[in-house]
Each structure stands twice: as C-alpha cells, then as structure tokens.
Amino acid sequence: MRRIRLLLLGGVALATATFFCFHAAQTRAIHEVETAPLPELAWLKSEFRLSDAEFKEVQRLHDAYLPQCGEMCLRIQEKNMEIRESLERADNTGVDVRMALREAALLRAECQGKMLEHFRRVSRAMPQEQGRRYFDWVVERTLLLDEGMPMPDSGRFSP
C-alpha cells in the first residue's frame, strides 16, 4: 500500500511538472512580446513570421503612418462635434446637418484610402504569402468591418 501511495504521489508530481513545462513552452512567445517596447508590433512579427529586416521595414512604415493616423483622428473628432452642434442648433433646417454628414463621409473615404495605402505598403514589406495573409486579415478588421449591417456572404442573413 505504501508503494502505491508513493507511486501516486510521484505521478501527481510528474503531472504537475509536465503541466508547467508545456504551459511555459506554449506561452514563451507571450513573454517575449510583452517585454518588447511596442508589444503589438512584436506580436505582428511573431504572428506573420517576419525576419528582423522585414520587421524593421514594417516598424518604419508604422512609425511613418502614426502621425497621419493621429491627424485623421483629430479631424474625425472635429467633424463629429460639428455634426453634434448642427443637430443641437435650435433653428436647424437640416441643411447644415446634411452638409456636415457629407463632409464626414468624404473624410471617412479619405481616411480609409490612407489606411488602404498603408496596409498595401506593409503587406509588400512582408514575404508574399504572409503579406497576402496580413492584408486579408487587416482589411477584414478595418475596412470591411461589419458594423451591424449583415454582409451578403457572412451567413447571417435569415433565409
């Protein structure tokens, strides 16, 4: 009986050790990403298996794009405030609102055009297969983002 107890204790110790070994091996990449200066870019490097040179180029493109993106953000905010103000105006006839909405749509198109251009540049900096995968992945999550309206091939149309 004592030998069986020892065997079971040894088994539990072995199971615990293998659990931590496998868990640590699986999550080692997470630790590397989280300790990087820009974790999201470090994650992109591991996700799309980029070499150091490719990653350097992606990082350069990202750094060059960020100021444009920030500027776009401010313009979007200003436009949203403009729409809100024209909606709240007492003598509102609807003309101002329609004009502000049209401008917001033009701004969105301009912004999406710049995003698309950036995605193309980044995908070209990656190996061909990974670049294609990146482009599909990022476009799906930004330009083709489903905002409530079901897409025809999304399978969410009721029969």
Partner 1 sequence: MKLEENQEDDFRLGALLREWQPEADWSKRRQAAVWDHIAAGESSTAPFISIWLSRLNEWLLRPQGAIVVLLVFALVGSGLGWVSGQYRLDRHSQTMTAQYIGSIDPYQMKPALFP
Which residues make up the interface to partner 1 (CB under 8 A)? 1, 3-4, 7-8, 10-12, 14-27, 29-30, 33, 39-41, 43-44, 47, 62, 65-66, 69-70, 72-74, 76, 108, 111, 115, 118, 138, 141-142, 145
What are the residues whose beta carbons fall under 8 Å from the beta carbon of 128, sequence distance 6 or more? none
Alpha-carbon gap, residue 29 to 41, rounded angstroms: 13
- Residue 59 makes CB contacts below 8 A (sequence gap 6+) with 38, 41
Q: How many CB atoms lie within 10 A of CB 51?
A: 11
Q: How far is the CB of 95 from partner 1 (least distance, A)?
A: 26
Which lies closer to partner 1 via its Cβ, residue 85 or residue 140? 140
Q: Minimal distance in Å, beta carbon 158 to partner 1?
A: 28
Between 22 and 150, whose beta carbon lies closer to partner 1?
22
Q: How far is the CB of 91 from partner 1 (least distance, A)?
A: 31
Spell out where 42-149 has E strands: none
CA nearest neighbour of 122 among 45, 37, 46: 45
What's the min distance (Å) between Cβ of 92 and partner 1? 26
Minimal distance, residue 94 CB to partner 1, in Å: 25
- If the CB atoms of residues 73 and 87 are measured against partner 1, the closer one turns out to be 73
Q: Which is nearer to partner 1, 89 or 108 (CB)?
A: 108
Q: Which is nearer to partner 1, 22 or 102 (CB)?
A: 22
- Of 26, 28, 27, 62, give the one whose Cα is nearest residue 44: 62
SS3 content of the chain, % helix, strand, coil (to 5): 75, 0, 25
